[in-house]
Structure 1
Amino acid sequence: MSTQFSAHAQALGYFYQVRYALFLLLKASDDSCIYIEKLDDISFDNDGTPLELIQTKHHINARGSLSNASSDIWKTIRVWSEGILDRELDEENTKFTLISNDIAIEGSAASLLSAGSNRNIEAAMEILINTAETSSSNSNKKAYEKFLELTDEQKKAFLRNTIILDCADNIAEAKEKILHEIRYVTRPKHVESVYERLEGIWFDKVIKHLLTNSNSSISHRELQEKLHDLQEQFSRDNLPIDFFNAIVPTEKELKEDERIFVEQLKLIEISNRRIEKAISDYYKAFKQRSKWIRDDLIIIDELNSYEERLIDEWERKFEIMIEDIGKEKSKDIFIKKGRALFNWMDGEAEFNIRKNCDEPYVVRGSYHMLANKLKVGWHLEFIERLGYLLGNITGDDQ
Structure 2
Amino acid sequence: MELYDDVSWEEHGTPTELLQLKHHRKGSRLLTDRSPDVWDTLKVWMDTAAPEDPAGPTLVLVSTQTAKSGSAIAALRPQSRDQAWALEVPESVALDSQSDATGRARQQFLALGSLDRQTFLSKIRVVDDSDHIQDIPAAVRRALSWALPPGHEDAFLAQVWHWWDGQALAMLRRLQDGVEVGAAKAAIARIRDRFTQADLPTYLERADVDTSAVTAEHTDALFVQQMQWVAYPPRNLQGAVVDFYRATTQTIRWLDECLIGPEELNRVQEELVDEWDRAFEWMALGLAPNADEATKQAAGRQLLRDLTERAARTVRPRYSDAFFTRGQRHILADCGQVGWHIDYADRIQAPREERP
SS at match of 1:288: helix
SS at match of 1:245: helix
Distance in 2, matches of 1:227 and 1:384, equals 50
How many residue pairs end up in the alignment?
A: 353
SS at match of 1:54: strand
SS at match of 1:38: coil
Return closer, same or farther for 1:142/1:213 CA change in 2, 3 Å cut-off: farther
Q: CA deviation at 1:387?
A: 4.9
Return closer, same or farther for 1:51/1:265 CA change in 2, 3 Å cut-off: same
Residue 70, structure 1, aligned to residue 31, structure 2 = no
Q: CA deviation at 1:266?
A: 0.8
Match of 2:158, as an amino acid?
Answer: E
Map 1:18-167 → 2, pairs under 5 A: 37-61=2-26, 64-84=29-49, 87=50, 90-117=53-80, 119-167=81-129
- Corresponding position of 2:198: 237
Structure 1 contact 101–168 (Cα < 8 Å) conserved: yes
- Corresponding position of 1:33: none
Match of 1:113, as an amino acid?
Answer: L
Q: CA deviation at 1:93?
A: 4.7
Q: CA deviation at 1:326?
A: 5.7
Q: TM-score, normalised by structure 2?
A: 0.86
Distance in 2, matches of 1:354 and 1:56, equals 43
Distance in 2, matches of 1:337 and 1:193, equals 43
Match of 1:55, as an amino acid?
Answer: Q
Structure 1 contact 67–105 (Cα < 8 Å) conserved: yes
Residue 222, structure 1, aligned to residue 183, structure 2 = yes
SS at match of 1:325: coil
Superposed CA RMSD: 2.9
Return closer, same or farther for 1:323/1:370 CA change in 2, 3 Å cut-off: same
- Corresponding position of 2:155: 193
Return closer, same or farther for 1:303/1:172 CA change in 2, 3 Å cut-off: farther
Match of 1:228, as an amino acid?
Answer: A
Q: CA deviation at 1:309?
A: 2.6
Deviations 1:335-358 (A, max 9, x none): 122112211221125210111112
Return closer, same or farther for 1:333/1:273 CA change in 2, 3 Å cut-off: same
Structure 1 contact 82–146 (Cα < 8 Å) conserved: no
- Corresponding position of 1:292: 254
Q: CA deviation at 1:88?
A: 7.6
SS at match of 1:187: coil
Identical-pair percentage: 26
Structure 2 contact 7–18 (Cα < 8 Å) conserved: yes
Higher relative contact order (CA 8 A, sep 6+): 1
Structure 1 unmatched runs, 5+:
1-35, 392-398
SS at match of 1:235: coil
Match of 2:197, as an amino acid?
Answer: R
Q: CA deviation at 1:362?
A: 0.5
Distance in 1, matches of 2:153 and 2:113, equals 50
Q: CA deviation at 1:134?
A: 3.5
SS at match of 2:211: coil
Distance in 2, matches of 1:258 and 1:280, equals 15
Distance in 1, matches of 2:274 and 2:187, equals 37
2:238 to 266, 276, 290: 276
Distance in 1, matches of 2:70 and 2:47, equals 27
Q: CA deviation at 1:41?
A: 1.3
- Corresponding position of 1:341: 303
Structure 1 contact 92–157 (Cα < 8 Å) conserved: no
Residue 179, structure 1, aligned to residue 144, structure 2 = no
Return closer, same or farther for 1:350/1:106 CA change in 2, 3 Å cut-off: same
Distance in 2, matches of 1:192 and 1:361, equals 24
Q: CA deviation at 1:80?
A: 1.1
Structure 2 contact 65–128 (Cα < 8 Å) conserved: yes
Structure 2 unmatched runs, 5+:
none
Residue 351, structure 1, aligned to residue 313, structure 2 = yes
Distance in 1, matches of 2:39 and 2:263, equals 60
Structure 1 contact 121–156 (Cα < 8 Å) conserved: no
Structure 1 contact 234–240 (Cα < 8 Å) conserved: yes
- The runs of at least 4 aligned residues of structure 1 exceeding 4 Å deviation read 386-391
Distance in 1, matches of 2:325 and 2:168, equals 32
Structure 2 contact 63–130 (Cα < 8 Å) conserved: yes
Deviations 1:223-252 (A, max 9, x none): 222223223322211112341433342277
Return closer, same or farther for 1:88/1:382 CA change in 2, 3 Å cut-off: farther
SS at match of 1:189: coil
Distance in 2, matches of 1:377 and 1:133, equals 84
Residue 206, structure 1, aligned to residue 168, structure 2 = yes
